Homo-oligomer: A and B are copies of this chain.
Amino acid sequence: MTITGNQISSMEQRYRTTLVNSVSGFKSLQMVGTISTDGITNLALFNSIFHVGANPPLLGMVVRPDGAEHDTLKNIIATGQYTLNNVLPAWYAKAHQTSARFPSGESEFGECGFTKSYIAGLKAPFVKESTIKIGLVLRDIIDVSINNTSIVIGEIIYIILDENVIAADGYVDLEKAGSVTVAGLDSYHTTQRLGRLNYAKPGKHPEALSV
């Protein structure tokens, strides 16, 4: 079947949100940890993380001004720091719960049962239960004028993980780390590797890499 832009415009709002959020493929799932200038921690679930560049190491994410992520953006602007923390299969429902609209004064860490962890050099809290933790400093906030959202771009200044999840060539084995992926706003998935392939060149068939 073919769905047109006009049909999408006239859909019931929740149906449209669910459709558009799920149609573009599996997404990076991260809990974003921040702290306010008053010392109140915040933890929020994001599925719009994307790679911007490796040198300097930059990640982007989309933030809605009116969403549950409001405190996250405010804290990132105030402190210039945030963390990304992966989600594991054993507690994906607890991670989902951080997307509820808790009052500003209540920390999702306590409400949802996660443990804060800190390192010297970063005020923003990590999630102790995560197996891949990334610490970032804010580098840019870009306004997307079409729909009044913001793209937050941060530079990675810390990566915390078990050394056995990094392969000899720098590849982070997300399956070994137990990372969950997300489809749409609410569907959580584990993965099964088909294969890693070597660098593609014209006229050559890709070959499998050992992980």
- Chain A interface (Cβ < 8 Å from any Cβ of B): 1-5, 8-9, 11, 13-30, 47-60, 62, 64, 84, 86, 89, 92-93, 96-103, 111, 119, 132, 134, 139-140, 142, 144-147, 149, 151, 153, 155-163, 166, 169-172, 174-175, 179-181, 183-184, 186-202, 204-206, 209, 211
A18–B171 contact, CB under 8 A?
yes
Given contacts A174-B25, A186-B198, contact A156 B52 (CB under 8 A): no
* Chain A at the B interface: SS class: mixed
> Whole-angstrom distance between the alpha carbons of A81 and B92 in the complex?
37
A116 to chain B, nearest CB (A): 17
Contact of A93 among B54, B101, B111, B205 (CB under 8 A): B205
Closest to A185 in B: B199
A51–B100 contact, CB under 8 A?
no
> Whole-angstrom distance between the alpha carbons of A190 and B84 in the complex?
24
A3 to chain B, nearest CB (A): 4
A51–B20 contact, CB under 8 A?
yes
Best-surrounded residue of A25, A26, A47 (most CB of chain B within 10 A): A25
Residues of the B chain whose Cβ atoms lie less than 8 Å from the Cβ of A151: 60, 142, 151
